[in-house]
């Protein structure tokens, strides 16, 4: 095992997010050995393996209270980088990496660390000795959520293989948010549902789901919102959805949203940015092609980008002679650490669906048209084809009247 040379360092402070918009998660401190100036540019270089990176000053969430806590991070390079995090006991942190620190959204998920006193370490097995990487640690509510960094992305069907409602491709700035790593599971749904019905909530339907660790499906749009509120209240958070001055707990009405608090459905823009996982202009969360090794969907021969050697419903369902869901973390995650952003169950969003919304949507944190008949669904489900699983694909369902679809579930975000 080699150890880092003991050398003097120069601190070089730069902002981690655009300073004018959105929330800033502390600052990235790059400390580097005294090396030629050319080394400072973020390109792969063998000499970069000598870099020492330090990150601190990040936001940690504890129930409703936002507290500032110091997270210290240190890198040691043996055969691969070993990232150590130090901070207050009980803090849950997500370690992220980037090879382009100047690009706010390209911070990728390395892993979670729960601080239990003393240093905790993660090994970056994806690193190659010729490549430069920066790391940072950010406070997250739990290991079941990841931080999606603030920044601008290109929203819409950039590959001209989708519907006209995916156009025009346009730049959208999205503030940072936390997102569930998986679709809401049947077991989490039932647990919060049980708590909710004992605390003055009333729902239109019972959630369905093939097993506890499979996604819940067959829920109404309004039940999903009330459930988000119940999840918030159960954890001591301020709920997001209100009817007038009241917390939204019963009925089937269109609520107002407190965007600063509580679990809620993602906006369509938040969902698409998260699904893209920090990649630029790709068709799927993991690249430009899709196969049954990557997602649970209905494979056909209709699309060149559907390269699955097995066709029809996912082979894990064959024994049952029917379509099915898969456990929430059955396939590899995307760059942000999210599972199931293509297929399994389609996911309800907050926005009303409007086919020409992109021609007039705001450039910063768009939240959909003010009224509508249909709710946006994203990501495609086990019964749908590869085209429906594209990150740019827009789909919808009647929003009103207790309407449900088998194969549609949701996941929550938290500001």
Contact footprint for Ca ion (CB under 5 A) = 163, 340, 344, 379, 393-394
Enclosing H/E stretch for 95 = strand 92-98
Residue 95 in contact with residue 74, Cβ under 8 Å?
no
Pairwise CA distance, residues 304 & 289, whole Å: 8
If the CB atoms of residues 248 and 353 are measured against Ca ion, the closer one turns out to be 353
CB of 340 to Ca ion, least distance (A): 4
Cα radius of gyration rounded to whole Å, the chain: 22
DSSP label at 267?
P
Q: What pairing do the DSSP bridges indicate for beta strands 120-123 and 81-86? A: antiparallel
Nearer to Ca ion, 138 or 404 (CB): 404
Question: Is the distance from CB of 33 to CB of 52 less than 8 angstroms?
Answer: yes
- Shortest Å distance, C-beta 394 to Ca ion: 5
The answer to whether the Cα torsion of 366, 372, 374, 375 is positive or negative is positive
User: Rounded to the nearest whole angstrom, what is the least distance from the CB of residue 140 to Ca ion in the complex?
Assistant: 21
Residue with tokens 């898969």: 326
Min. distance of Cβ 264 from Ca ion in angstroms?
17
Smallest distance from Ca ion to CB 297, Å: 10
Residue number with CB closer to Ca ion (49 or 296): 296
Q: Are strands 346-352 and 408-409 parallel, antiparallel or unpaired?
A: parallel
Q: What is the DSSP letter of 367?
A: -
How many residues are recorded in the chain? 415
The whole-angstrom separation of Cα 253 and Cα 400 is 9
How far, in Å, CA of 69 to CA of 91, rounded?
9
Judge whether 103 and 151 are in contact, CB under 8 Å: yes
In order of 7, 271, 302, 312, 336, the CA distances from 285 in angstroms are: 41, 11, 20, 21, 10
Tell me whether residue 262 or residue 379 sits nearer to Ca ion (CB atom): 379
| Greatest pairwise CA separation for the chain in angstroms | 67
Least separation in angstroms between CB 183 and Ca ion:
5
Shortest distance in whole angstroms from residue 387 CB to Ca ion: 8
C-beta of 316 vs 364, nearer to Ca ion: 316
Select 69 or 317, whichever has its Cβ closest to Ca ion. Answer: 317
Q: Which is nearer to Ca ion, 93 or 325 (CB)?
A: 325
Q: What is the closest distance, in whole angstroms, from the C-beta atom of residue 82 to Ca ion in the complex?
A: 33
Residue matched to tokens 């809620």? 264
Residue number with CB closer to Ca ion (22 or 266): 266
């Amino acid at each position: 095992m080699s150890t880092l040379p003991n050398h003097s360092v120069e601190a070089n402070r730069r902002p981690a997010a655009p300073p004018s918009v959105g929330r800033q998660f502390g600052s990235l401190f790059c400390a580097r050995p005294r090396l030629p100036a050319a080394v400072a540019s973020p390109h792969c270089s063998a000499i970069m393996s000598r870099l020492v990176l330090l990150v601190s000053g990040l936001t940690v969430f504890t129930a409703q209270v936002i507290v500032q806590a110091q997270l210290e991070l240190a890198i040691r390079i043996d055969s691969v980088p070993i990232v150590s995090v130090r901070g207050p006991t009980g803090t849950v942190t997500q370690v992220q990496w980037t090879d382009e620190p100047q690009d706010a959204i390209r911070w990728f998920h390395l892993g979670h660390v729960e601080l239990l006193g003393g240093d905790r370490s993660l090994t970056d097995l994806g690193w190659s000795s010729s490549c430069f990487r920066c790391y940072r640690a950010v406070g997250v509510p739990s290991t079941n959520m990841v931080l999606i960094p603030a920044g601008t992305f290109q929203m819409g069907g950039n590959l001209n293989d989708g519907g006209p409602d995916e156009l025009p491709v346009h730049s959208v700035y999205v503030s940072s948010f936390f997102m569930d790593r998986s679709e809401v599971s049947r077991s989490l749904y039932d647990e919060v549902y049980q708590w909710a019905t004992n605390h003055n909530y009333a729902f239109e339907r019972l959630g369905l789901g093939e097993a506890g660790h499979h996604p819940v499906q067959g829920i109404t749009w309004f039940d999903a919102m009330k459930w988000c509120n119940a999840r918030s209240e159960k954890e001591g958070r301020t709920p997001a959805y209100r009817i007038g001055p009241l917390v939204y707990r019963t009925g089937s009405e269109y609520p107002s949203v407190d965007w600063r608090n509580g679990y809620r459905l993602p906006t369509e823009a938040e969902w698409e940015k998260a699904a893209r996982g920090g990649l630029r202009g790709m068709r799927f969360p993991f690249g430009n092609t899709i196969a049954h090794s990557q997602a649970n969907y209905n494979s056909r021969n209709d699309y060149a980008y559907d390269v699955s050697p097995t066709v029809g419903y996912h082979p894990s369902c064959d024994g049952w002679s029917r379509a099915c869901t898969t456990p929430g973390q059955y396939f590899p995650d995307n760059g942000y650490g999210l599972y199931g952003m293509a297929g399994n169950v389609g996911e309800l969003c907050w926005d009303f669906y409007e086919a020409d919304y992109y021609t007039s949507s705001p450039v910063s944190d768009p939240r959909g048209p003010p009224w509508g008949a249909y709710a946006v669904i994203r990501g495609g489900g086990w019964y749908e084809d590869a085209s429906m699983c594209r990150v740019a694909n827009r789909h919808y369902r009647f929003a009103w009247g207790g309407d449900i679809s088998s194969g549609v579930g949701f996941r929550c975000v938290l500001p």
